[in-house]
Chain A
Amino acid sequence: MSRHLTQRLAFGLLILATLATTVPIVLIVGYIAAAGLPAISLEFLTAMPRDGMRAGGIWPAIVGTLLLTAGTAVVAVPLGIAAAIYLAEYAKDTPLTRAIRIAIINLAGIPSVVYGLFGLGLFVLFLGFGTSILAGSLTLAIMTLPVIISTTEEALRAVPQAFRVVSISLGGTKWQTIRRIVLPQALPGILTGVILGLERAAGETAPILFTAAAFFLPRLPNSPLDATMALPYHLFVIATQVPGMPVQIQYGTALVLLVFVLSMNFFATIIRSRARARRQW
């Protein structure tokens, strides 16, 4: 077989593989959009579920997911960015630093359901938060932390070293240099990482199964110590646990969750590409 024929064959296979990975993505998103759209109405988005969740809306699940995501952000964003600043700007190559890195790799790899167990053991039972937004947010925050740390660290390291040296040589202290030069320059990268991390938290089910999620709770939570419905768990429940569930409501719920998550994804992509175009270095 001539080598040019081999090449054609090989490239053909590569294209097939790529189509096989990417076409289903478009199909899934398109299918959910098409099947879910008829379910979407003002009532669906803003009403309480009725009739054993077989009718009415998904308002408490939407609010719950917003609250859980916000709670995750409040904890994970400052902590993650600070930890990344430590690793990128302060830490020297010591055994302790290496231990931190191994810890982050480890945190990134722990299955989400194990985070759920941990949150149950520490927040729900040991600290007595009960099944609550607080316990769920803290669990999701720790799970999201490694994503935020590693993307932020990467963004900080991409800022040219020369900027730091110049700032220091002009009489800047280390923190002044970080705050006035490094952080502003790394901001788009940090934002992208933060959004992608929170996107993952918003779509997760396993970590909130035993820490925050309520099967059916047709009211809005009153305090951080209340349990809550949440979109991903609600979809799981109506897809597997409720017999005689109208398919339309299932698709509608999936669509709302998808829009929520993918719009975060979209923002992250926009921020990144705009920053890339504007960057002066």
Chain B
Amino acid sequence: MTPPALLPDKPPAARAGWPELIIEALIRAAGYSAILFVILIVLFLLREGLPALGEVAPADLLGARWYPIEDYFGLLPLIGGSLIVTLGAVLIAVPFGLGTAIFIAEVAPRWLREFLKPLIEVLAGLPSVVLGFMGMLVLTPLVRETLGTPTGLTAFTGSVLLAGMALPTLVSVAEDALDSVPRSYRNAALALGATPWQTIWRVTVPAARTGVLTAVMLGIGRAIGETMTVMMVTGNAARLPTGLGALFLPVRTLTATIAAEMGEVANGSVHYHVLFTIGIVLFLISFAVNLTASAVVFQQKKRSERLLS
């Protein structure tokens, strides 16, 4: 048997065979496509949203009145609405989410964990419109009767549902973070006579704090961008919230405004452009939140890589 020649007649690039080179070129292109899509999204948001800055005075955009029919395009009430609903959601989701994550990661026996984790995933899979629907039919009357408000459609109602939307992300990321704390930390604390709870609270949770922080950030990102649930239960009154009492009044968020009004505006009108401007604001907020969250993760990874090498 004569050995195959090691030195090819053709240039080395041709060696893999052209079908393989085409496949690899496609794979490479697919990898770059993510950048392309972000650029396209930015481009089209700017294309449709930037004209608003010429049509509405910037000072008016920062006004406290959103009443497009009379050309009032003040975004403050919407931003305030999004903030207060998100704040409420975070206040609810963080303690319950972290509690659940700690329970699943540290306390629950194996069989229970194998049951709870898919259950949380079911929550992640519930369409937001289904949650909103249940919110309208079940939660809203409950809020009205319990709080004695004239309507159950309040920021608080939205916060409760948004907390539900944010929980799966929060729980699974936080649980991963707790899970990746080395077993030896726990064993060391237990060997020193700490109770299991002292070990969790003084050792495991602090060791996982960056991951837990990431979980909270991602949960916030999820809550602020949620659309259908808040639109269905918050009453959609564009009123500037002043103080925590506004939690129990109807509000209108950035996302709900786009969803509710885009269907009724004429393409190319001022109102249309301003709705895209709101899209730009949402894009910037989510970009900031998610980049912060992932920067924490990157740093954490680098540190652990240094420790391991």
Contact = CB atoms under 8 A, between A and B. Distances in A.
Contact present between A and B (CB < 8 A): yes
Interface of A: 3-4, 6-7, 10-11, 13-18, 20-22, 24-26, 28-29, 31-32, 78-80, 82-83, 85-87, 90-91, 96, 99-100, 102-118, 120-122, 125-126, 142, 145-146, 149, 173-176, 196, 199-200, 202-206, 209-210, 232-233, 235-236, 239-240, 247, 250, 254, 257-258, 261-262, 264-265, 269
B266 interface: no
B221 interface: yes
B129 A209 contact: no
| A interface: dominant SS | helix
B35 A100 contact: yes
Given A203-B130, A210-B263, A103 B37 contact: yes
A111 B45 contact: no
Contact of B45 (A114, A209, A239): A114
Contact of A175 (B23, B227, B282, B287): B23
B44 to A, nearest CB: 4
Given A14-B102, A17-B99, A21-B120, A258 B130 contact: yes
Given A111-B255, A175-B16, A239 B197 contact: no
B133 interface: yes
Interface in B92-140: 95-100, 102-104, 107-108, 116, 118-123, 125-134, 136-138
Interface in B14-44: 16, 20, 23-24, 26-35, 37-38, 40-41, 44
Contacts of B30: 78-80, 82-83, 85-86
Among B47, B127, B224, which residue has the most Cβ atoms of chain A within 10 A? B127
Contacts of A250: 133, 137
A118 B126 CA distance: 24
A233 B249 CA distance: 27
Contacts of A26: 119
Interface of B: 16, 20, 23-24, 26-35, 37-38, 40-41, 44-45, 47-48, 95-100, 102-104, 107-108, 116, 118-123, 125-134, 136-138, 164, 167, 171, 195-198, 200-201, 221, 224-228, 232, 255, 258-259, 262-263, 267, 275-276, 279, 282-283, 286-287, 289-291, 294
Nearest to B276: A117
Among A3, A104, A118, which residue has the most Cβ atoms of chain B within 10 A? A118
Nearest to A115: B41
Given A113-B255, A122-B44, A203-B130, A18 B116 contact: yes
Contacts of B122: 25, 29, 262, 265
Among B24, B100, B125, B262, which residue has the most Cβ atoms of chain A within 10 A? B125
